[in-house]
């Protein structure tokens, strides 16, 4: 079906643009039943949500307003590819600009998927979810949803513009539309050897009513989709010219360093600014609702002055909380039955009657995002409102936070999205926006608020610490007949969108534990919610990152209990899941599963589906007196139609390294109510020397596109833990690997 | 008043001697290609060249700079440096934030040792890339080392 083209949007923008075709397209308020059915067939499960504008100027430049943030995942290239595919423009004339905050850019695909767990649901429920999606919908880059959500709407927008250009050209040529073809930014009429460029046609084409259902090319005719088109943003990222949030420079601007209460929920008690205000370049010390800032004419002067300020804090009621107390609470909570997230058959009965019963408890720590670009935002307050430059995944939330901080209407806040020096879910929070606005207001000049690495590490929204209990029953032949999993962890949704937890379990706590590809007749997945004062948030692949570790480690334990090879054990459970099975087999084959290895080496396998993509990985590790060295990771991926294969590979490679850092080193610990880790020495990252050889094998598919940014993360940790088990016989039920004895 | 030569241009900057070079580049001279990642010499995002050496600009004070400074903006006028070209050919950057530092560290490595061994490269390139572009960086280094 067609994205419905919004005539008002066309006119609104068209008026401001001297000449040229400007198209707006957005989510229709309500989708017809047939439209939903058609989209269901496309696999997206929901209508066209993505919103953007394209514009063709007389100089042939095609400007595409991209409403997703570029944080390294390549959306400033893959989304234009979708549009250009149908438009038929000259790829070299594409120009990408970041969209402002606007409800028209809401990521309804993401919200819908979150609420429905990606499943098709009944009509009434679907209606309700769609209504809810519209209410809570936010302009968001996350959930590996960009390409998935844009796949049809952006192609439709390109096709609609193309049809308008062709209609205009045919009229000028005085020929039938059908005789015209589109090629490299021109409409051609071969019989009369005439042609007109898009730029020459655009102004007149813009006066036409956009077609509602323009024809889309069949996949066999695609020229861009499926090609490794070089990233449009990369030249600026090798010469230092790309502007990240921290690089924004405005006339008269000042820089702010911020200290926040070390214990979450604490308060500023007192500070003495006398000496600090005498320091060179320092213009103000500003108390904030969540801390205190020093504003100066240079970042270092602000940071150095803040260090001298040494504010005193009231720790509040949480100064006695530690990782030990949190972990003990979670462990105890495993005894509770929790809220059921998924159930089938009678697991209790089958467990007690099983020939063999296996159970194991697992634990994972809090994790920080540690984006390379520390948190920052730059605000300028003028007579006509607020401008805010920010590397963000959530433009609308930023707009709202800025408006509240300055007590003005959101309409007066203009959000300028810069490049993001990493997002990984951290930039789904709008905390910096309010700080920058408050500071700009306090000093009457533009201010760039920038956190030190230490503030960044100690004031994140962390991946929740989680304890899990898994129990399974095997029959006399070693077949898996029952499975029970209980997760005890804080709820992310209870913080960001409490209503989502009223009716049902927080999906972010159980995603990936539910909807397993393995056929297990009797099962129950449950969540016991235990919240602490440590803020929790979305960390690349969210609940999947924990649940893949629990599930895939435990499946390995069951294979061992059944005396079966881990690959063969999984294979048997996947008879009804051919796509998953194919991915598993491919990874095993490419990794040489079963080939002999030298002593001290082991191979581990893991399979996990998330964000619409299936990923299997085989890790090969060496365990020696020096510890664990990960030698090689072979990944196989089925993520449906691939828009840009090289970008997909890059995301898989990067996801593997991200997962590896977490598996080997990742741990945020709480001491006296505060985060103990501060920098890269105590919160270490994998570096070049520890990077294994990485191989990525992609299965060709014509299924709906799956996500790319997150799905490679979840299988890494279990593949490594399983490889360590294969090498040593030692089963790791906690992470990180570092610091754990690896002898049995 | 500290005197510097940055990307071939003499600069006189009126700042405290103990201000790290990083912040003089970024906040005084407006050369924002050099990034702040930790301020403690741990991540390499701020790597520049002083003379022929790769130096983490957050760890050297402006008063201690002895030699001409080259930043990412001055590595080549047109992205033609062979390290930049290799990075582009292999589509190395993801978010790109760590890349100027990585490219400067690699450029210094190849200047010193045009055919580095894998071990030399690992020793010279200890920067952090949170996006995990290491596999491509390694590939780029391997190709450059053979060229
Ligand atoms: S900012 Fe200089 S090494 Fe991290
Ligand atoms: S490319 Fe993002 S940190 Fe390296």
Q: Which chain A residues are Cβ-neighbours of B32 within 8 angstroms? A: 240, 243, 246-247, 249
Q: Which chain B residues are Cβ-neighbours of A646 within 8 angstroms? A: 91
Query: Ligand 1, closest atom to CA B37?
Result: 1
Pocket test for ligand 1, best of B35, B37, B55, B128 (most atoms within 8 A of CB): B37
Q: What per-residue confidence (pLDDT) applies to A213?
A: 87
In angstroms, rounded to a whole number, what is the distance separating the alpha carbons of residues A542 and A427?
A: 14
Answer whether B37 contacts ligand 1 (Cβ < 6 A): yes
Query: Ligand 2, closest atom to CA B92?
Result: 1
* Average of per-residue pLDDT across A595-618: 96
Query: Ligand 1, closest atom to CA B58?
Result: 2
Smallest Cβ–Cβ distance between A680 and the set B38, B72, B100 belongs to B38
Which is more confident, A342 or A21? A342
* Average of per-residue pLDDT across A446-463: 98
Residue A413: enclosing H or E segment and its boundaries?
strand A413-417
- Ligand 2 midpoint to CA B134 (Å): 9
Strands (E) in A479-599, as ranges, are: 480-489, 522-529
Which is more confident, A141 or A33? A141
* Cβ proximity of A249 and A418 under 8 Å: no
CA A573 to chain centre: 29
Residues sharing a CB contact under 8 Å with residue A362, sequence separation 6 or more, in sequence order: A467, A468, A469, A470, A549, A550, A553, A554, A733, A734
- Distance spanning both ends of chain B, measured CA to CA: 44
Residue whose Cα lies nearest atom 4 of ligand 2: it is B129
Which one-letter DSSP state was computed for residue B64? G
CA quadruple B5, B11, B14, B18: dihedral, nearest 10: -10
SS3 A285: strand
Residue B139 touches partner A, C-beta closer than 8 Å: no
CA-based torsion, A380, A385, A389, A392: positive or negative: positive
Residue B114 touches partner A, C-beta closer than 8 Å: no
SS3 A225: coil
Antiparallel, parallel or unpaired: β A180-183 and A186-189: antiparallel
Q: Which chain B residues are Cβ-neighbours of A647 within 8 angstroms? A: 91
pLDDT band for position A142 (50/70/90)?
Answer: low
Residue B30 touches partner A, C-beta closer than 8 Å: yes
Q: Is the pLDDT of residue A53 over 70?
A: no
Domains and CATH numbers, chain A: 7-231 (3.30.365.10), 245-315+375-450 (3.30.365.10), 323-367+462-728 (3.30.365.10)
* Average of per-residue pLDDT across A223-228: 95
* Average of per-residue pLDDT across A269-276: 97
Q: What per-residue confidence (pLDDT) applies to A139?
A: 59
Between vectors from CA A592 to CA A587 and to CA A598, what angle results, nearest 5°?
Answer: 130
Q: What per-residue confidence (pLDDT) applies to A29?
A: 22
Q: What per-residue confidence (pLDDT) applies to A140?
A: 59
Q: Which of A15-19, A128-132, A275-279, A565-569 shows the lowest per-residue confidence on average (mean pLDDT)?
A: A15-19
- Ligand 1 midpoint to CA B110 (Å): 21
A460-505 per-position pLDDT tens digit: 999 999 999 999 999 999 999 999 999 999 999 888 888 777 778 9
- Ligand 1 midpoint to CA A458 (Å): 18
Q: What per-residue confidence (pLDDT) applies to A39?
A: 33
Among the bound ligands, the one closest to the CA of B95: 2
Residues sharing a CB contact under 8 Å with residue A635, sequence separation 6 or more, in sequence order: A587, A615, A616, A617, A652, A656, A694, A695, A696, A697, A712, A715
Chains A and B: how many Cβ contacts under 8 Å? 185
pLDDT band for position A157 (50/70/90)?
Answer: confident
Q: Which chain B residues are Cβ-neighbours of A420 within 8 angstroms? A: 95
Domains and CATH numbers, chain B: 2-75 (3.10.20.30), 82-146 (1.10.150.120)
pLDDT 10s per residue in chain B (147 long)? 899 999 999 999 999 999 999 999 999 999 999 999 999 999 999 999 999 999 999 999 999 999 999 999 999 999 999 999 999 999 999 999 999 999 999 999 999 999 999 999 999 999 999 999 999 999 999 999 998
Is the CB of A657 less than 8 angstroms away from the CB of B126?
A: no
Ligand 2 site residues, Cβ closer than 6 angstroms = A 72, 372, 422; B 93-99, 129-131, 133
Is the CB of A238 less than 8 angstroms away from the CB of B30?
A: no
């Amino acid at each position: 079906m067609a994205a419905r083209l919004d005539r008002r949007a066309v006119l609104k923008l068209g008026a401001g643009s001297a000449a040229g075709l400007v198209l707006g397209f957005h989510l229709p308020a309500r989708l017809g039943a047939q439209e939903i059915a058609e989209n269901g067939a496309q696999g997206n499960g929901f209508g066209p949500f993505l919103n953007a504008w394209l514009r063709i100027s007389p100089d042939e430049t095609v400007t595409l307003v991209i409403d997703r943030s570029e944080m390294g995942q390549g959306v400033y290239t893959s989304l234009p590819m979708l549009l250009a595919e149908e438009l038929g423009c000259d790829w070299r004339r594409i120009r990408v600009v970041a969209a402002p905050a606007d409800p028209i850019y809401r990521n309804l695909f993401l919200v819908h998927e979150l609420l429905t767990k990606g499943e098709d649901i009944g009509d009434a429920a679907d209606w309700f979810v769609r209504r809810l999606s519209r209410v809570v919908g936010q302009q968001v880059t996350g959930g590996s949803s960009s390409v998935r959500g844009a796949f049809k709407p952006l192609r439709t927008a390109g096709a609609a513009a193309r049809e308008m250009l062709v209609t205009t050209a045919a009229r000028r040529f005085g020929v039938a539309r059908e005789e015209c073809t589109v090629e490299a930014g021109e409409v051609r009429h071969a019989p009369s050897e005439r042609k007109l460029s898009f730029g020459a046609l655009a102004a007149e084409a813009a006066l036409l009513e956009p077609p509602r259902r323009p024809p889309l090319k069949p996949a066999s005719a695609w020229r861009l989709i499926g090609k490794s088109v070089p990233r449009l943003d990369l030249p600026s990222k090798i010469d230092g010219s790309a502007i990240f949030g921290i690089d924004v420079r405005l006339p008269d601007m000042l820089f702010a360093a911020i200290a926040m209460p070390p214990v979450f929920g604490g308060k500023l008690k007192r500070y003495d600014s006398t000496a600090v205000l005498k320091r060179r370049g320092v213009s103000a010390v500003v108390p904030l609702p969540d801390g205190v800032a020093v504003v100066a004419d240079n970042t270092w002067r602000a940071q150095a002055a803040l260090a001298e300020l040494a504010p005193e804090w009231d720790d509040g009621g949480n100064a006695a909380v530690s990782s030990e107390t949190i972990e003990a609470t979670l462990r105890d909570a495993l005894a509770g039955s929790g809220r059921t997230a998924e159930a089938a058959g009678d697991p209790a009965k089958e467990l007690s009657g099983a020939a063999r019963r296996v159970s194991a408890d697992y634990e994972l720590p809090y994790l920080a995002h540690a984006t390379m670009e520390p948190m920052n935002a730059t605000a300028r307050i003028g007579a006509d409102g607020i401008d805010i430059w920010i590397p963000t995944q959530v433009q609308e939330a930023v707009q709202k936070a800025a408006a509240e901080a300055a007590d003005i209407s959101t309409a007066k806040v203009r959000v300028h999205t810069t490049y993001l020096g990493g997002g990984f879910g951290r930039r789904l929070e709008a905390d910096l926006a309010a700080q920058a606005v408050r500071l700009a207001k306090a000093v009457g000049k533009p201010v760039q608020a920038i956190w030190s690495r230490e503030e960044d590490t100690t004031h994140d929204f962390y991946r929740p610490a989680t304890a899990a209990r898994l129990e399974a029953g095997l029959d006399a032949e070693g077949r898996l007949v029952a499975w029970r999993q209980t997760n005890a962890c804080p709820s992310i949704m209870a913080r960001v969108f409490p209503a989502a937890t009223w009716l049902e379990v927080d999906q972010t706590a159980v995603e990936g534990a539910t909807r397993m590809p393995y056929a297990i007749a009797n099962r129950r997945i449950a969540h016991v919610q235990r919240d602490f004062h440590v803020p929790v948030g979305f960390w690349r692949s969210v609940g999947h990152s924990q649940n893949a570790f629990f599930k895939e480690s435990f499946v390995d334990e069951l294979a061992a209990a059944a005396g079966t090879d881990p690959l063969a054990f999984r294979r048997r459970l996947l008879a009804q899941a051919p796509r998953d099975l194919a991915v598993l087999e491919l990874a095993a084959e490419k990794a040489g599963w079963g080939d002999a290895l030298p002593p001290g080496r082991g191979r581990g396998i893991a399979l996990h589906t998330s964000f619409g993509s299936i990923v299997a990985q085989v890790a090969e590790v060496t365990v020696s007196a020096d510890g664990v060295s990960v030698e090689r990771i072979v990944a196989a991926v089925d993520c449906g139609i691939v828009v840009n294969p090289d970008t997909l590979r890059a995301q898989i490679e990067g996801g593997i390294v991200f997962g590896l850092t977490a598996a080997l080193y990742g741990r945020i610990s709480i001491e006296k109510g505060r985060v103990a880790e501060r920098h890269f020495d105590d919160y270490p990252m994998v570096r070049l020397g520890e990077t294994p050889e990485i191989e990525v094998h992609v299965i060709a598919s014509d299924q709906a596109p799956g996500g790319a940014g997150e799905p490679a993360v979840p299988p890494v940790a279990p593949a490594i833990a399983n490889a360590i088990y294969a090498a040593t016989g030692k089963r790791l039920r906690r992470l990180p690997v570092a610091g754990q004895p690896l002898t049995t | 008043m500290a005197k510097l030569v940055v990307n071939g241009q003499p600069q006189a900057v009126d700042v405290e001697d103990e201000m790290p070079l990083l912040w003089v580049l970024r906040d005084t001279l407006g050369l924002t290609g050099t990034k702040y990642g930790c301020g403690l010499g741990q991540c390499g995002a701020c790597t520049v060249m002083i003379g022929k050496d790769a130096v983490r600009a957050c760890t050297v004070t402006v008063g201690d700079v002895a030699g001409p400074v080259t930043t990412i903006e001055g590595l080549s006028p047109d992205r033609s440096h062979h390290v930049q070209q290799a990075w582009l050919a292999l589509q190395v950057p993801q978010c790109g934030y760590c890349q100027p530092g990585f490219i400067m560290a690699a450029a210094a490595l190849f200047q010193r040792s045009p055919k580095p061994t894998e071990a030399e490269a690992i020793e010279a390139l200890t920067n952090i890339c949170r996006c995990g572009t290491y596999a491509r960086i390694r590939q780029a280094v391997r190709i450059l080392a053979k060229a």
